[in-house]
């Protein structure tokens, strides 16, 4: 019986990772994946529209500080990259929708977007929690995000992670901006590059 439980524990360890994140999964292809140019796709924010600009700015700031990439194509540059911005925008929307809702990626669309944006990798983010509330009677500030790093050439999800920060407070509310910055710093620190 002990051997069987040890086996299951060993099987779960790679799934949970040792990163300190709530969830992190690394593809076997990550060891040989070292992109020079990354495109940061528009954030998926759902009902948390107020998070959009904060998350966008924080991701760009942290990636720039890391210095891992020769070029970071942000959402503003993505809009200016094509002679037919509406066509690129539609293709980008379809791609993000496939990744987020279907969990699959069309390699051909991935390759086309990579060439159009001149990017080796895509960074996608999904805001799953954003705001103030109560938890077990305490006032809290809660920010949660999911991220994915995708190989543009073949659509392989190289790395994905989810994490949530919850900060209790009594009188002085922590700002959502500061909590998002702390959360994204922790997440991106774990990202392969």
pLDDT of residue 17: 43
Q: Domain for residue 84, yes or no?
A: yes
Q: Which range marks the domain in which residue 83 is found?
A: 23-127+147-162
> Tokens 């080796």 — which residue?
120
Examine residue 69 and state whether it is found in any structural domain, yes or no.
yes
Confirm whether 57 is domain-assigned: yes
CA gap 116, 111 in Å, rounded:
9
Do the domain assignments include residue 72?
A: yes
43, part of any domain: yes
pLDDT recorded at residue 77: 82
Residue 141 resides in a domain = no
CATH number at residue 66: 3.40.50
Domain count, the chain: 1
In a domain, 17, yes or no: no
Q: What is the pLDDT of residues 131-154, one digit of tens each?
A: 999 999 999 999 999 999 999 999
With a cut of 70, list the residues of the chain below it in pLDDT: 1-19, 81-85
């Amino acid at each position: 019986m002990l051997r069987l439980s040890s086996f299951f524990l060993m099987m779960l360890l790679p799934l949970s990772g040792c990163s300190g994140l709530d969830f992190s999964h690394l593809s076997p292809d990550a060891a040989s994946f070292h992109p020079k140019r990354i495109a940061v796709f528009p954030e998926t924010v759902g009902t948390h529209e107020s998070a959009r600009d904060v998350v966008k700015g924080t991701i760009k700031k942290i990636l720039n500080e890391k210095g891992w990439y020769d070029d970071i194509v942000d959402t503003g540059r993505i809009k200016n990259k094509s002679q037919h911005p509406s066509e690129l925008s539609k293709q980008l929307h379809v791609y993000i929708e496939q990744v987020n809702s279907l969990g699959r990626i069309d390699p051909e669309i991935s390759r086309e977007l990579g060439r159009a944006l001149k990017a080796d990798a895509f960074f996608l983010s999904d805001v799953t929690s954003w705001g103030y509330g109560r938890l077990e009677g305490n006032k809290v500030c809660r920010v949660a995000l999911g991220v994915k790093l995708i190989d543009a050439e073949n659509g392989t999800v190289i790395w994905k992670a989810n994490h949530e920060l919850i900060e209790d407070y009594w009188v002085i509310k922590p700002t959502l901006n500061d909590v998002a910055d702390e959360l994204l710093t922790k997440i991106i620190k774990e990202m392969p590059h």
